[in-house]
Amino acid sequence: MSPRIFVDADGCPVVDETIRLGKKYRIPVTLVADTAHQLEREGAVTITVEKGSDSADFRLVNLVGKGDIVVTQDYGLAAMALSKGACVLNQNGSQYTEENIEGLLMSRHLSRELRRAGGRTKGPSKREKEQDRRFIEALEILLEKLYT
């Protein structure tokens, strides 16, 4: 099966950049989102799932296979995609790996426990162009490495 790019498109800030690079390397891009997000983009297939906790994530992980690329900021989805042999990037260009995913999942768990206990955690800062540049660079390096 030829490689594909899947985007966890619910709130993803690099959808257009991913589609552009998919076109450049002739790799199909699939956007997966729930019904709360309307994401029709030229150059990509959009799969819309019912709104619900992690419904888009589960649909995406059922589609992904070995050698595919997944773009997500969700650590849980990243872990599931890694277990299926996919390469996984976040929207800032960092790659999730077998070596770092366990620590990221633990950090997410600890933050959730802190919030449940009434504590506060810092939310994401405003997105900057440098983050887009790093994502584009990381995806292009990955595509060059895997598919040329």
Q: Could you read off the pLDDT tens digit of each residue along the chain, which spans 148 residues?
A: 578 999 999 889 999 999 999 999 999 999 999 876 677 899 999 999 988 768 889 999 999 999 999 999 888 899 999 999 999 999 999 999 888 777 665 675 456 666 667 777 666 668 899 999 999 999 999 999 887 6
What is the CATH number for 52?
Answer: 3.40.50.1010
**d(Cα 76, Cα 61) in Å, to the nearest integer?**
10
28 falls within a domain: yes
Domain that holds residue 76: 5-98+138-147
Would 133 be classed as within a structural domain?
Answer: no
Q: Is residue 81 part of a domain?
A: yes
Paired residues of 29 in beta bridges = 5
How many distinct structural domains can be found in the chain? 1
**Helix then strand then coil, % of the chain, to nearest 5:** 45, 15, 40
